[in-house]
Amino acid sequence: MIQIAILGLGTVGGGVAKVVAENAKQIERKLGEPLQVKAVLVRHFKDGPYRQLMTDDFSKIEEDDSIRVVVETIGGVDAAYTYTKRALSAGKHVVTANKQLVAERGFELLALAKRKNVHYLFEASVGGGIPVLHPLTQCLAANRIDEVCGILNGTTNYILTRMVRTGAFFSDALREAQAKGYAEADPTADVEGLDAGRKICILADLAFGHQIDPKQVPMEGISKLSLRDVKIAQRAGYRVKLLGRALRLPGGGRTAYVAPHLIPEDNPIAGVEDVFNAVLIRGNAVGEVMFYGRGAGELPTASACVSDVMECLQASPKREDTGWPAADEGFEDPAELHTRHYFRIEGSLTDAAMAFGQVEVLSEDGETAFLTDSLSGRDAARQSRSLNVLACMRVLDG
Amino acid sequence: MIQIAILGLGTVGGGVAKVVAENAKQIERKLGEPLQVKAVLVRHFKDGPYRQLMTDDFSKIEEDDSIRVVVETIGGVDAAYTYTKRALSAGKHVVTANKQLVAERGFELLALAKRKNVHYLFEASVGGGIPVLHPLTQCLAANRIDEVCGILNGTTNYILTRMVRTGAFFSDALREAQAKGYAEADPTADVEGLDAGRKICILADLAFGHQIDPKQVPMEGISKLSLRDVKIAQRAGYRVKLLGRALRLPGGGRTAYVAPHLIPEDNPIAGVEDVFNAVLIRGNAVGEVMFYGRGAGELPTASACVSDVMECLQASPKREDTGWPAADEGFEDPAELHTRHYFRIEGSLTDAAMAFGQVEVLSEDGETAFLTDSLSGRDAARQSRSLNVLACMRVLDG
């Protein structure tokens, strides 16, 4: 019998308890012995199926040597950070879906886990149940990873899908997402790109082997996106999607950012709709591979957490490639990245041509919408300084 | 310094040597020491960059204790089977892309590897470089897997894409694929579904934990597919794709088969074009996840092999969930599976209605093409016995 504890009993924590119970037979066959939830840390006791397992005292879990794995589902940094450090220090494996904690403190917690010879695993922190982090670090280990790029936030993808399909304004599509339970009452972290930003930091850390400080990463969401640009893009054969991107730059530096992009409609990422997520990884041997599925939800996220629990119990934590150093030298401003740019300006094609030379016109309707040749974000900003810019987005090339 | 040997120096073997050389720095950082190809087994010596490493005597590799991993890229069963057994027996890990050997003898080779406390890994045998098998067995370990379904053969997908896009006949599209190097001079294994069949057997073995004998699995290719059905399907909002499917049946049995299907065009698998592969996995916790990329090619396949080599050196082979028993009780004829069926008959709508009751007409043009309600393959065959059937395919529902 293998005992685990769950910290928090919200959506993810409850899902973990459910999956452990419902798939007990499959899990036992693979582990060779049964898996059992022995304790659940809560702030307030509540009636329900897990009432006898509840405690509000973390030291009960910390001091119980029969508990080998702790699943942290509290979220945020404060208490989650403290309990994770204490659990690792007590020689317990820790599994989490907490993207903020991993993005901000992952390097430190992984180093602690390594010293204690235990695992700190967080597959669920990116893409919910979609396997992404293990494939990136293990199945693609023989590659130099050149790019990771993805639709990492289901809420904003749902909103964008509604804007494209029904012509809804952003504010109406957001209200619809809230009514369906896809968006929080306070949707800031989703719509302003912070959630996708934390995820692209974790992907970049693993892909490049260096900590990237989330504070360095420009994060632009979709709250300022105009329906007009979505429509112009669509008529020209593009879909607008919020992408997190982490890239190796030609000079050897690395960059990462979150922003809405125009995606050519024959790119597989363009077809990712509703609350689905997709992560595209480009390696120098494998080429491009893509992972697709529901990026959130109780049971998908729990699927990743419980699979990580099983991994803790079966795999040696001594891999050289777990963890990344805190040093983040080599991070470059994504303004260095060259792509085509979409502009909508108050002005004529002549104004556009004066600023950028030859451009591809998408719409001339009082305003002018056009695509530039490939140029850096820095040059796009500099050359457009004389224009009255109403909207600007990068195009996902290649 | 970690030494490995490569058996065979064809496309995959050459690719493995290339990736080891080209990504030496990344690989060393992750392994903690350099990886080196010490020997290459060939039948005939040839000049080239690996000339000094070549041997035609397997016992030189077998008896060299400094060689820890053998990458088998010979293909087929005979020599590959013998050398794999000898390498595992000598306490060496073995990595391969050999789908035929794994599908037919995997259970036996995995059992031998387990006894010898070494790995037998074969991520490259399905989907080339796309991570599929590790995600299935590890990242989704907490799930009861209910279905694995995929476009597993790039050659046939290329041919089907050409038929849809340019209206080419099968024979012309095949010639084009051969000219581009996507199809072998003898294309039988691809176009008759054998290659996809071996891959779906491996996926089913891992998903359900029981060996499925490839001889039991019905494999239908695309050589008899008519352009007419491709066009009727397309007009009705479907794409024709060759699918390998492995399913858990409602009664608890398991089945697997390969056949062309009609796929609704809003299903993500419908958009997988050209030589790309995609594998969809449905688990009871995670829901549906999809893995997408190039399913073949020198470097993508080598990416998976070299990543498996690294896995051998880093992970404990003591997992309970590696391997599957030979016993294949519980395999059921896929004729038990219920789906909608597509028929094209020489006859009228009245003939169709006499056989199946209400049907959805797709085309009435001398012949009649229609979709039935959901019914088993057995009933579809029985109820159509009085009809003059020109074509019959399953529809991918759900």
- The reported pLDDT for the residue numbered A134 is 95
Distances (CA, A) of B191 to B182, B186, B239: 12, 10, 18
Burial of A36 (0-12, 13-18, 19+ CB in 10 A): middle
- The reported pLDDT for the residue numbered A318 is 64
Kindly list the residues from chain A whose CB atom is less than 8 angstroms away from the CB atom of residue B124. Answer: none
pTM, two decimal places = 0.94
Q: What is the dihedral of CA A216, A221, A226, A230, to 10 degrees?
A: 100
What stretches of chain B show up as alpha helix (H) in DSSP? 11-22, 24-31, 58-62, 78-89, 99-115, 133-134, 154-166, 170-179, 188-191, 194-208, 227-235, 298-314, 349-356, 377-383
Give the model confidence (pLDDT) of B27-50 as tens digits.
Answer: 999 999 999 999 999 999 989 889
Kindly list the residues from chain A whose CB atom is less than 8 angstroms away from the CB atom of residue B207. Answer: none
Q: Which of B92, B99, B199, B241 is catalytic?
A: B199
- The reported pLDDT for the residue numbered B143 is 97
Token pair for B212: 């499925």
Does B140 contact A at CB distance below 8 Å? yes
Out of A32, A129, A285, name the one closest to residue B299 (CB). A285
- The reported pLDDT for the residue numbered A330 is 82
Burial of B264 (0-12, 13-18, 19+ CB in 10 A): middle
Give the model confidence (pLDDT) of B118-170 as tens digits.
Answer: 999 999 999 999 999 999 999 999 999 999 999 999 999 999 999 999 999 99
Residue B180 among the catalytic residues: no
B314/A316 CB distance under 8 A: yes
Q: Which of residues 245-304 of A touch B (CB under 8 A)?
A: 268, 271, 283-294, 297, 299-300, 302-304
Report how many helices (DSSP H) and strands (DSSP E) chain B contains, helices first: 14, 17
Q: Which of residues 169-228 of B touch A (CB under 8 A)?
A: 209
Give the closest-approach CA distance of B54 to chain A in angstroms: 23
A307/B142 CB distance under 8 A: yes
Q: Are A210 and A328 in contact (CB under 8 A)?
A: yes
What ipTM, to 2 d.p.? 0.93
Mean pLDDT of B161-188: 92
Q: What's the whole-number average pLDDT of chain B?
A: 94
Residue of B nearest to A207 (CA): B26
Q: Are A227 and A167 in contact (CB under 8 A)?
A: yes
The 10 Å Cβ neighbour count of residue A25 is 10
Give the closest-approach CA distance of A312 to chain B in angstroms: 11
Q: Are A394 and A376 in contact (CB under 8 A)?
A: no
The 10 Å Cβ neighbour count of residue B169 is 13
Q: Flag whether pLDDT at B320 surpasses 60.
A: no
Check residues B210 and A23 and name the one with the higher pLDDT: A23
Query: Rounded distance, CA B295 to CA A69, Å?
Result: 37
Does A317 contact B at CB distance below 8 Å? no
What is the DSSP track for A3-19?
EEEEE--SHHHHHHHHH
A135/B134 CB distance under 8 A: yes
- The reported pLDDT for the residue numbered A320 is 55
Which residue has 């000219």 as its token pair? B179
Give the closest-approach CA distance of B267 to chain A in angstroms: 10
Out of B26, B140, B297, name the one closest to residue A131 (CB). B140
A289/B292 CB distance under 8 A: yes
Kindly list the residues from chain A whose CB atom is less than 8 angstroms away from the CB atom of residue B300. Answer: 285-287
Residue pLDDT tens, chain A, 398 long? 999 999 999 999 999 999 999 999 999 999 999 999 999 999 999 898 899 999 999 999 999 999 999 999 999 999 999 999 999 999 999 999 999 999 999 999 999 999 999 999 999 999 999 999 999 999 999 999 999 999 999 999 999 999 999 999 999 999 999 998 888 889 999 999 999 999 999 999 999 988 899 999 999 999 999 999 999 999 999 999 999 999 999 888 899 999 999 999 989 999 999 999 999 999 999 999 999 999 888 999 999 999 999 999 988 776 655 677 776 678 899 999 999 999 999 999 999 999 999 999 999 988 999 999 999 999 999 999 999 999 999 999 86
Kindly list the residues from chain B whose CB atom is less than 8 angstroms away from the CB atom of residue A285. Answer: 15, 19, 22-23, 129, 299-300, 302-303, 306
Kindly list the residues from chain A whose CB atom is less than 8 angstroms away from the CB atom of residue B29. Answer: 209, 320-321
Q: Flag whether pLDDT at B196 surpasses 90.
A: yes
Q: Which of A92, A114, A199, A241 is catalytic?
A: A199
Instruction: Identify which of B10, B228, B223, B225 has the alpha carbon closest to the alpha carbon of residue B98.
Output: B10
B290/A294 CB distance under 8 A: no
Does A135 contact B at CB distance below 8 Å? yes
- The reported pLDDT for the residue numbered A52 is 94
Q: Are A283 and A144 in contact (CB under 8 A)?
A: yes
A286/B304 CB distance under 8 A: yes
